[in-house]
Amino acid sequence: MRIHILGICGAFMGGLARLALEAGHAVSGCDAAVYPPMSEQLRADGVALTEGYDPKTLETPADLYVIGNALSRGNPLLEAILDRGLPYVSGPQWLAEHILQGRHVLGVAGTHGKTTTASMLAWILEKNGLCPGFLIGGVLRNFGVSARLGRAPFFVIEADEYDTAFCDKRSKFIHYRPRTLILNNLEYDHADIFSDLAAIERQFHHLVRTLPASGLIVCNRQEESLARVLARGCWTRVEYFNDPEGIRAEGEDADGFLRIVEGGAPIGEARWDLIGAHNRQNAAAALLAARHVGVPFADGLAALTDFQNVRRRMEIRGKAAGVTVYDDFAHHPTAIAATLDGLRRKVGDARVFAVLEPRSNTMREGVLKDRLAESLAQADLIFCYAANLGWDAAESLAPLQERARVFEDLERMVEEIAVASRSGDHVLVMSNGGFGNIHNRLLSALQCRAAAL
C-alpha cells in the first residue's frame, strides 16, 4: 500500500511513518515546514518529503492519506482530499488498526514525563530480551530512533491526551487500548483543546474505561487529579508509585544512585546518570509496568544503569568558553521547575541561566503565566523570549526583579546571554520547539567572545 502522511515531521507522525515502512508500505509525506531532526530521520529511511500542502501532491496518487492532528479544515490539501472522496484516516486510528491490533500495549499517559518514562520502559524490556515495538515522541538515544515495530507481543507507546484529528476530537490515547497503563500525573494543559482540568480528567477516565480487568494501571499516588479519575470508576487492578506507604524512588543526584523502596524497606538500587526527583519517580513507574510483563525489579534496575535519556531532555548541546549549554523540552511551569531543580542539585552553587521560550499553545495564551516566575525561582538569571505572546512576560516575571530579562529580538538575547556568561556557568534552554537554533547560536557567540578577549 502507498501511504501519504500529512504533517509527517511531527514526532508522532514521523514515528508512524517509520512503522509503516517497517510494515512494508511505501511512504511519502508533506508538512508545512520540513525540518530536522525528523526530516533527517525520514530522508535517511528513504521517505519522499514535500514542503507545503499543495493539492498538486495528489497527482501522485496514494492508496491512503493519513492526516495529522495539526491540520484543520481549510488546509488546501485536506480540502482536495475531501472534495475528491479519497480514503483518509487519522494517525492514531491507522496505528491502532494496522500496528497495535493483537499486541500487548504498554501506554504511558500524563502531563509530564511521558517521553522519558516510555523510553525507560522500552529500554528495560529491550535489555531483558523482549524486543518491544515502540512509538515515542522523541529520539531514544539507546535505540537511535523514535519508533520501531519490534517483536510481538509488546509495544510501548507514549499515550498523548491531545486530540486525534480534524474529524475526531477524542484524545489520541483512546485508540490505543493498552493492557498496561502508566498514569504519571495530570495537570491543566492544552488550553487550545480543553476548557479546564475537569475536561482532561474526563478524557483520562475514557482511557481507563478501555483497559481490561486483567490489565494493570500504574498510578502516581500523590496526584489528586488521578485519584478523581479513578474514583469515577475503575475495573482494572491498580498499583501505586510515589507512595509513602508503598513503592517509591529515592536517591540524591550527588551520589548517582536510584533506589527503590517499599514502605521503609529497600528493594534494590542502581547507579545511573539521570538527575532529578521527577526522573526517579518516572523510573519507579517504568519498573512497575515492566514487572507486569515479567521483568523483576532487580533486572529492571540493572537495565537502567545504561539508560540514556531521550534527546532534548537535559541534553548537553555543547560547551564553549567554560559555559555548558543544555537543551530541554520543558514548557509547562511544573516541568520547568522540576528541570531547574534537577540541574541545581547537580551543579550546586554554580550559576544557572534559564533561557525560556513560552511556545506551547497553553503558554502562548497566558493560561499559566501567573505560575511562571515561581517555576524559575532557582535560576540565577532568566532570559525570556517573548515574541508573539499575547500577554506581558515582563509583568509576569516582575517578582524575579532584576534577575529576569525579556526580549523580542532573538539575536539580541543571544548576545546578552553571551555577555553575561562566565566560565563555570550552566545555560539551560527550555522550549518545545526549535527556538531559532539558539543553542548553536549561543555556542558560537560564546566562542567568538572568548576569542576576542
Q: Classify residue 441 by its DSSP letter.
A: H
Please check the confidence at residue 329 and state whether its pLDDT lies above 80: no
Whether residue 76 has a cis bond before it, omega within 30° of 0: no
Domain ranges of the chain: 2-91, 102-304, 315-452
Per DSSP, the residues of 425-439 read: -EEEEE-SS-GGGHH
390: cell is 499575547
Higher pLDDT pick, 371 / 228: 228
Domain 2-91 in CATH: superfamily? NAD(P)-binding Rossmann-like Domain (3.40.50.720)
pLDDT digit string, tens, across residues 257-302? 899 999 888 989 888 888 788 889 999 999 999 999 999 999 999 9
**pLDDT at position 362, please?**
67
431: cell is 522550549
The chain-wide mean pLDDT, for the chain, equals 89
- Adjacency order of strands within the sheet including 133-140: 145-148, 133-140, 154-158, 104-109, 180-183, 216-220, 237-241
185: cell is 500525573
> For the domain bounded by 315-452, which CATH number is listed?
3.90.190.20
How far is 371 from 255, CA to CA, in rounded Å? Answer: 31
What's the pTM value of the predicted model, to 2 decimals? 0.81
Give every CB contact of residue 264 below 8 A, 6+ residues apart in sequence: none
Phi, psi (deg, nearest 5) at residue 228: -65, -40
Cα–Cα separations (whole angstroms), residue 440 to 138, 231, 326, 371, 388: 20, 48, 11, 29, 22
Give every CB contact of residue 242 below 8 A, 6+ residues apart in sequence: 220, 221, 222, 248, 249, 281, 284
pLDDT digit string, tens, across residues 416-435? 888 888 898 999 998 877 77
**CA dihedral sign of residues 259, 262, 264, 265:** negative
By C-alpha distance, which of 86, 75, 87, 64 is closest to 32? 75
Per DSSP, the residues of 151-197 read: STTEEEEE---SEEETTEEEEGGGGT--SEEEE-------TTT-SSH
How far is 146 from 310, CA to CA, in rounded Å? Answer: 9
Residue 39: CA count within 13 A, CB half-sphere: 11
Q: What CATH class is the domain 102-304?
A: alpha beta
Per DSSP, the residues of 114-125 read: HHHHHHHHHHHH
pLDDT digit string, tens, across residues 32-88? 877 666 777 788 888 989 999 999 999 999 999 999 998 999 999 999 999 999 999
Name beta bridge partners: 237.
Answer: 216
